[in-house]
Amino acid sequence: MYSIKFVRENIELLKTSSLAKGEKLDWEKIESLDNARRRIISFVEERRKWQKDISSKLADRKDKQDSSFEDMIRQAKKYSDEIRQSEKELNDIEQQIEYLISLIPNIPHSSVPVGKNSSDNQVVKQWGEISTPPFNVIPHWEIGEKLNIIDFPRGAKITGSFFPVFRAAGASLVRALINFMIDTHRKHGFTEVWVPALVNKDSMFCTGQLPKLEKDMYALEEGNLFLIPTAEVPVTNLHRQEVIPEENLPIYYVAYTPCFRREAGAYGKDTKGLIRLHQFDKVELVKFVEPTTSYEELETLLNEAESILQALGLPYRVIKLCTGDLSFSASKCYDIETWAPGIQRWLEVSSCSNFEAFQARRGNIRYRKSDGTTDYLHTLNGSGVALPRVIISIVEHYQQADGSIIVPEVLRNYMGGLERIK
């Protein structure tokens, strides 16, 4: 998190960048609280000096019976009471400042296009051919039910809406995708980690979900824990409150986890199929790198996520997000969208972000340079990739006229040699 000193010295930059992200903050209150904080600190320092002077004089007094001695004791007690009360006020003010600063978003990188919403995002790349088959492609929820590989009614019975059940070849497809992605990323130098699906508040604060996005999270009141919205949270927090030797950087991690999101602000949207779920599976990529290399690392992270879709033969496009569509914690982000012919839509399957030192500050993640000094490193993460919408694309893209689904070649060994779901 930004220090109050940084905020004070960069207030106009932070105002501009927050506005560009569509974030409205009470800057007057921050400045007012900061001024009050500095006044109290000055007052306390002054009283401590006076208290020290009186204490010194009292220690030197030989005659401790006269009225002036008692006056000095009363004055010393008054200073002590004033200091104690002021420190209480200071603590309250600093808590208020800390909360308000925690709501200040990360500063967008200079290469991020300025814009208000997704309509201002930029398509920077497209891969694969979008073909029109000579038959009517059935939406994934229909073909999934016909082939008995996706069961929406039983998922709703067990839990509620947006919790599907995958069965038979559908379950195998989920497991195959996870294993294929993990194996691919491991071959490319990522270390696999298996992490908890429950995290504490400090972990959620580090990556930027708290306090701003708390309403979208599933919280467990008992234990004060949260179900993770993405593996980014536990994996980034592997190194919270740590100092990493420079020679150990970069560090690359890959992790599979289930992900849980209430998406409180999205009710009524995408109510059919697998487009929007409250629980879904995702393979996540996380990087810890030196600041000077982080934007090169962002490009290679993007390439890593793209490699999955290329291997699966799924058409996709890469979107550079504008300031107004950028997440709270990101400095720059690329989204990858794959084409779903059955519903005639581009679907986001990956977000690759550079957070620069934003998360590192919040989690106190530093690295030790060769000269012995320490500094905050940069963190990056990207979906490598999210499963439900990839499954949509596979089911609709590889659908055949007879209603069967061709299994992508790279997945067949993971599915016992299965070539066609029928």
pLDDT of residue 243: 98
Structure tokens given for 324: 């107004």
Cα separation, 130 vs 35, whole angstroms = 59
CA distances from 219 to 25, 103, 262, 307 (A): 26, 20, 10, 34
pLDDT of residue 364: 98
Closest by CA position to 173, among listed 196, 150, 200, 139: 150
Per the DSSP assignment, residues forming a β-bridge with 280 are 259
Cα separation, 40 vs 233, whole angstroms = 37
Helix/strand/coil percent split, the chain, to 5: 45, 20, 35
DSSP structure string for 63-77: --SSHHHHHHHHHHH
Q: What is the dihedral of CA 312, 318, 324, 327, to 10 degrees?
A: 40
DSSP 293: G
pLDDT of residue 65: 62
Q: What is the dihedral of CA 115, 117, 122, 128, to 10 degrees?
A: 180
Closest by CA position to 226, among listed 238, 213, 239: 213
At residue 176, what is the residue type? A
Query: pLDDT of 378-397, one tens digit each?
Result: 999 999 999 999 999 999 99
DSSP structure string for 183-206: HHHHHTTPEE----SEEEHHHHHH
pLDDT of residue 51: 87
Backbone angles phi, psi at 50, to 5 degrees: -65, -40
pLDDT lower than 70: segments of the chain: 61-67, 264-270
Q: Which domains does the chain have, with CATH numbers?
A: 4-102 (1.10.287), 118-421 (3.30.930.10)
Query: pLDDT of 316-366, one tens digit each?
Result: 999 999 999 999 999 999 999 999 999 999 999 999 999 999 999 999 999
Cα separation, 382 vs 301, whole angstroms = 7
pLDDT of residue 62: 60
Query: pLDDT of 237-286, one tens digit each?
Result: 999 999 999 999 999 999 999 999 997 555 556 678 999 999 999 999 99
Cα separation, 49 vs 237, whole angstroms = 42
pLDDT of residue 182: 98
| Residue 57: strand, helix, or coil | helix
Q: Is the dihedral of CA 234, 240, 245, 246 positive or negative?
A: positive
Provide the H-helix boundaries in 262-314. 294-312
Closest by CA position to 102, among listed 208, 24, 17: 208
At residue 347, what is the residue type? L
